[in-house]
């Protein structure tokens, strides 16, 4: 499935994942990469105040701006949140990859059990590698500090920037300002992006809900089958005439159990995280478009003010010139990132749904 069209899922499907992958050529293919990041080795920390998990972040690089070719640091979830907020602050109209929420997949896993920790580890690993593969974000100074600084150095660096509440206030003001009255001179391209994202958001949220429902039903089916197998085995002990048939049924149920468990693993590892990541991406993109509109709104209000003022024209003209440059930069950054994001999204969706289809074929064959 592709989300290439706004109003329909395109039916053009490659024959197999291998033929599909060859259709796409990315600028960040492995042979061109000079930055490799791994997130692994989760470790629990229990203090008098809180319990938290840290993850090992290993970086290998051949870039000249790094002092060493390999780094190993430990980071907790709060550090990843800090990095994301710094990237948003530095690049308001670029598409920053999403982080898993504070509690992911509510109702499916308990906080800090093994499944939760592994799900989060994978999401954090993907978050850092998406940044590393991004042509602009990968060279951000805060990203470099995140990968290389020891815990005390990172803590010291964090204190230099504005506080979280201050940043939240700026974001809230920006969004509130962008919502007021709309933007008069928004280019058609960004109106189309906005419409696309509204439709995409609706569809991806529906897919996310359906996928979770399928997983829940599959798990209930699996739990019931686990009970039926042993029942047939016990029954065979008291029914000599049909003992072989009952044992055969028990054996079949056991095979179905194993096949279902494998299919559930495929859903929880491949489908659910990808769909949920793009639910988060849809929220991020709506925020990016609002921030672009806010910059445009500032320019529009200054132009209106200039038209109504007889004095201070020189000062206003200078401010308008700066804002025009700012709008141009924001537009160009978002245009380039939009095309890149869309290509990645279509690739991820195609490979995810093809993978699910092939898993289903294997399941029914078994």
What integer pLDDT is reported at residue 208 of this predicted model?
96
Task: Give the domains, in start order, of the chain with CATH numbers.
Answer: 35-153 (3.30.1520.10), 183-365 (1.20.1270.60)
pLDDT at 232 over 60: yes
Which residue's structure tokens are 């593969």?
Answer: 133
What integer pLDDT is reported at residue 247 of this predicted model?
93
How distant is the alpha carbon of residue 52 from its chain centre? Answer: 22
8 A C-beta contact, residue 275 and residue 186: no
The average confidence (pLDDT) of the chain is 82
What integer pLDDT is reported at residue 276 of this predicted model?
94
- Whole-model pTM? 0.77
Altogether, the residues listed in the chain come to a count of: 366
Cα dihedral 90, 96, 100, 103 sign: positive
At residue 106 the predicted structure's pLDDT band, cuts being 50, 70 and 90, is very low
CA–CA gap between residue 207 and residue 110 (Å, rounded) = 23
CA–CA gap between residue 1 and residue 9 (Å, rounded) = 6
Q: Which residues contact 103 (CB under 8 A, 6 or more apart)?
A: 111
What integer pLDDT is reported at residue 152 of this predicted model?
86
Partners of 40 in the β-ladder:
56
Other beta carbons within 10 Å of 299: 20
**Rounded to whole angstroms, what are the CA distances from 7 to 3, 72, 208, 337, 352?**
9, 46, 18, 22, 20
Q: What is the pLDDT of residues 107-118, one digit of tens each?
A: 444 556 788 888
Q: What is the pLDDT of residues 294-303, one digit of tens each?
A: 988 888 787 7
Other beta carbons within 10 Å of 279: 16
**Rounded to whole angstroms, what are the CA distances from 43 to 40, 55, 92?**
9, 6, 33
Percent of the residues in the chain that have a pLDDT greater than 90, as a whole number: 55
DSSP per-residue codes, 108-121: TS-TTSHHHHHHHH
**Candidate from 19-33, 149-163, 236-250 with smallest mean pLDDT:** 19-33
CA–CA gap between residue 265 and residue 120 (Å, rounded) = 16
């Amino acid at each position: 499935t592709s989300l290439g069209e706004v109003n329909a899922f395109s039916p053009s499907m490659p024959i197999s994942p291998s033929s599909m992958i060859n259709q796409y050529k990315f600028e960040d293919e492995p042979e061109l990469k000079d930055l490799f990041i791994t997130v692994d080795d989760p470790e629990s920390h229990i203090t008098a105040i809180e319990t938290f998990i840290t993850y090992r972040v290993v970086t290998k690089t051949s870039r000249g701006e790094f002092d060493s070719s390999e780094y190993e640091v430990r980071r907790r979830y709060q550090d990843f949140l800090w990095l994301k907020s710094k990237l948003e602050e530095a690049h308001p109209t670029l598409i920053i990859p999403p982080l898993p929420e504070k509690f992911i997949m509510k109702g499916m896993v308990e906080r800090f059990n093994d499944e939760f920790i592994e799900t989060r580890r994978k999401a954090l690993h993907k978050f850092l590698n998406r940044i590393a593969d991004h042509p602009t974000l990968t060279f951000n100074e805060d990203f470099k500090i995140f990968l290389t600084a020891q815990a005390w150095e990172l803590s010291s660096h964090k204190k230099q920037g504005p506080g979280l509440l201050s940043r939240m206030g700026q974001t809230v003001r920006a969004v509130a300002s962008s919502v007021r009255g709309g933007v008069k001179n928004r280019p058609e391209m960004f109106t189309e992006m906005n419409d696309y994202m509204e439709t995409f958001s609706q569809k991806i949220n529906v897919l996310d809900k359906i996928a979770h429902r399928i997983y829940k039903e599959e798990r209930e089916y699996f739990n019931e089958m686990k009970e039926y197998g042993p029942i047939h085995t016990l029954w065979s002990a008291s029914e000599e005439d049909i003992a072989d048939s009952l044992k055969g049924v028990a054996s079949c149920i056991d095979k179905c159990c194993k096949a279902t468990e494998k299919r559930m693993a495929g859903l929880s590892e491949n489908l659910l995280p990808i769909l949920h990541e793009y639910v988060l991406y849809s929220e991020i993109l709506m925020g990016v478009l609002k921030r672009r509109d806010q910059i445009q709104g500032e320019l529009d209000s200054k132009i209106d003010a200039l038209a109504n003022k007889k004095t201070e024209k020189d000062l206003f003209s200078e401010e308008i010139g700066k804002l025009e440059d700012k709008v141009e930069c924001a537009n160009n950054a978002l245009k380039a990132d939009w095309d890149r994001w869309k290509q990645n999204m279509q690739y991820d969706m195609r490979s995810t749904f093809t993978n699910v289809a092939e898993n289903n074929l294997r399941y029914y064959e078994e």
